[in-house]
């Protein structure tokens, strides 16, 4: 079982890291920036091959990777070094990795929604004893308006219900050729702890719906991650909830056992997480490098590359410490350490 978890995790994380680093790589190549090495993983090399001026390597520790650019952390007289490129070129190179992860999330979610279908505001069934059933809402009813808000998609309906616990909502429903009015008061579900009226949506398969659902789910994942980071930084959630490499491997394995579509959806969540985390303005992350580019633009002259490189080195050490801390928490959580 552990072997299965590890193999699946290596494949998933390998894809995410490759896509991320490929973003940096392709923009660097297109802009004429010299790339010294394109690596998947950290640590000792398992395989490497030089093609042209760039070395391509596969390394032992697969929880990461890098695209080594000439002049990235040092002064260079090479006109093709990244440090000698215009600020907007460097901005594009550093932002490309995280943006590729966000794009990958969107693509994966389109595939998931296309295969499972996208929820539409038509009632498939009602839950016995819940407000919708009591109000006389039936399977096949299309919800076209709530109060004064037109309902074009399931997400809009869901958001209205979630934000109106205990408040009477006036539904306009189309049942065949007849338009009906129903009043429903959402209640908090004991299992989900969210306001519900007790309806299950119909699902329809189409590329247009899949794209629309993919966009909305990507935005939802992004908001959820940003909120979680904010709550972690402000101490509103415990560091016990922090997931490290061991926890990620375990979670990927669990999702893989429950089916390929669940694994794909979870991969999308990890991908957007990776993209947004790397955009944080912290040294060693892509967001930290973007911050230095913007500082250069504002002050009108660049920061000494060697000093910037030292700051990123310190940031990298802090990130390693964070990973080790999260790993310790993982091991405690699964009772390997106490």
Active site (catalytic) residues = 21
Helices (H), 152-241: 154-162, 207-233
Q: Which residues contact 44 (CB under 8 A, 6 or more apart)?
A: 59, 60
User: What is the SS3 assignment for 259?
Assistant: coil
For residues 262 and 111, what is the distance between their CA atoms, to the nearest angstrom?
12
First-to-last alpha carbon distance for the chain, in angstroms, is 23
Distance of CA 6 to the CA centre of its chain: 21
For residues 225 and 277, what is the distance between their CA atoms, to the nearest angstrom?
9
Q: Identify the bridge partners of residue 187 per DSSP, sorted by sequence position.
A: 196
For residues 123 and 138, what is the distance between their CA atoms, to the nearest angstrom?
7
Torsion of CA 272, 274, 279, 285, to 10 degrees: -170
- Asked if 302 and 76 count as a contact pair (C-beta separation under 8 A), the reply is no
From the CB of residue 69, how many other CB atoms can be counted at a distance below 10 Å?
A: 24
- Asked if 201 and 121 count as a contact pair (C-beta separation under 8 A), the reply is yes
The number of helices, as runs of H, and strands, as runs of E, in the chain is 9, 10
Tell me whether strands 142-146 and 149-150 are parallel, antiparallel or unpaired.
antiparallel
């Amino acid at each position: 079982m552990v072997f299965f978890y590890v193999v699946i995790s290596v494949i998933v994380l390998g894809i995410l890291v490759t896509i991320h680093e490929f973003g940096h790589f392709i923009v660097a190549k297109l802009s004429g920036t010299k790339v010294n090495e394109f690596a998947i993983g950290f640590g000792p090399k398992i395989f490497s091959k030089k093609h042209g001026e760039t070395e391509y390597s596969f390394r032992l520790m697969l929880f990461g990777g890098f695209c080594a650019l000439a002049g990235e952390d040092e002064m260079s007289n090479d006109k093709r070094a990244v440090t000698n490129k215009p600020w907007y070129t460097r901005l594009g190179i550093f932002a490309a990795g995280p943006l590729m992860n966000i794009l990958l999330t969107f693509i994966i979610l389109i595939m998931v929604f296309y295969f499972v279908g996208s929820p539409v505001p038509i009632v498939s069934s009602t839950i016995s004893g819940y407000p919708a059933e009591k109000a006389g809402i039936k399977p096949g009813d299309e919800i076209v308006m709530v109060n004064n808000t037109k309902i074009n998609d399931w997400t809009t309906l869901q958001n209205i219900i979630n934000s109106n616990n205990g408040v009477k909502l006036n539904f306009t429903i189309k049942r065949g050729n007849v338009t009906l009015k129903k009043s429903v008061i959402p209640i908090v579900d004991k299992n989900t702890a969210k306001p519900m009226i007790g309806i299950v949506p119909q699902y329809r398969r189409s590329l247009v719906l899949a794209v629309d659902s993919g966009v909305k789910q990507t935005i939802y994942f992004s908001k959820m991650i940003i909120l979680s980071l904010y709550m972690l930084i402000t101490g509103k959630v415990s560091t016990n909830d922090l997931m490290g490499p061991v926890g990620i491997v375990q979670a990927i394995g669990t999702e893989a056992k429950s089916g390929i579509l669940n694994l794909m959806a979870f991969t999308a969540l990890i991908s957007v997480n990776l993209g947004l985390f790397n955009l944080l303005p912290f040294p060693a992350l892509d967001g930290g490098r973007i911050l230095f580019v913007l500082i250069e633009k504002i002050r009108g002259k660049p920061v000494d590359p060697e000093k910037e490189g030292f700051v990123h080195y310190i940031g990298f050490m802090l990130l390693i410490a964070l990973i080790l801390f999260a790993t310790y928490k993982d091991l405690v959580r699964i009772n390997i350490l106490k």
